[in-house]
Amino acid sequence: MAGSGTSAGAEFLAGCRDEAPLLLGVAPFGMIYGIAALSAGVPAWLAQLASAVVFAGAAQLVIVQMLAAGAGFLPIALTSGLLNLRHVLYSASMAEYVRHLPRRWRLLLAYVLTDEAYAVAVLRYQRREAATPPHGESGASRNTASTQPVDNAAHADLRHWYFLGAGFTLWAGWQLSTAAGLLFGATIPAAWELDFAVPLTFIALLTLLLRERAGQAAALVAALGALAFAALPYKLGLVAAILLGLAAGAWTVHRLERAR
């Protein structure tokens, strides 16, 4: 996987290389987003700009889905703002690794702290820690490190370059796949109903997320809430439904803990 970190450039490229396979999974979302944005009436330049400014796939899909359904400013802002809150978790998880870096580095890394970049970068940080005891590994790729123990120990920690490489790769892939969706989307007949790919994406992600009882309760109550509050203007019912779902999730956690 990653190189032995002999230079900043090598770390950066290793990050790019390890992130690259994830682009296969990301590119379809970028294309679906681009296509759905066009069919929701978002100008192409603005849809592309959103991929750089928001740079969060799930939230961007939610925004175009809600725009297509005629939702108002506030419900969209609240829903996507709430959905992106999970990035605080990634930020907290990364804090111990990047805390020592200069502010400009942390400002830069915060921009590329997406789900997929986090997943790759956090593995790099954990791997290096596991390999820290000398002679712990016998792999050929570690030969340089074990023959130069002094150099390795004195070496500045360059793993943030790896993080940047992973983040940059994902960023470039997201911009390009958005552009592809926008180009492609302009030529697709509306009869293909490719906008339906957005709720299908939600169904697929939901199925992956529903592993525990509390999450299932949150999802069920939120879905029922979305129907119960359907008549609220500007799709505010969605916000109410999500909040009710969160309450149901919290209540289930509480009840399960008491039952134990």
Which of the residues 44 through 73 are near other proteins (CB under 8 A)?
Answer: 46, 49-50, 53-56, 58-59, 62-63, 65-67, 69, 72-73
218 sits near other proteins (criterion: CB under 8 A) = yes
47 vs 145, beta carbon nearer other proteins = 47
Per CB under 8 A, contacts with other proteins among 90-149 are 90-92, 94-95, 98-99, 103, 106-107, 109-111, 113
Query: What separation in angstroms does the CA of 139 have from each of 97, 127, 132, 144?
Result: 25, 14, 14, 11
CB of 27 to other proteins, least distance (A): 10
The span of 8-16, 148-156, 175-183, 247-255 binding other proteins (CB under 8 A) equals 247-255
CB of 194 to other proteins, least distance (A): 8
CB of 224 to other proteins, least distance (A): 7
Contacts with other proteins: how many residues (CB under 8 A)?
A: 93
Helices (H), the chain: 8-19, 23-39, 44-53, 57-68, 73-83, 87-98, 103-111, 115-130, 143-147, 149-154, 159-185, 197-209, 213-228, 236-259
- Cα Rg of the chain (Å, integer): 22
End-to-end CA distance of the chain: 42
CA dihedral 205, 207, 209, 215 (to 10 degrees): 130
The span of 3-11, 126-134, 181-189, 231-239 binding other proteins (CB under 8 A) equals 231-239
Residues 6+ apart with CB under 8 A from 23: 169, 170, 173, 177
CB of 141 to other proteins, least distance (A): 29
CA dihedral 187, 192, 196, 201 (to 10 degrees): -70
CB of 201 to other proteins, least distance (A): 6
CB of 242 to other proteins, least distance (A): 5
1 vs 200, beta carbon nearer other proteins = 200
The span of 123-131, 150-158, 168-176, 200-208 binding other proteins (CB under 8 A) equals 200-208
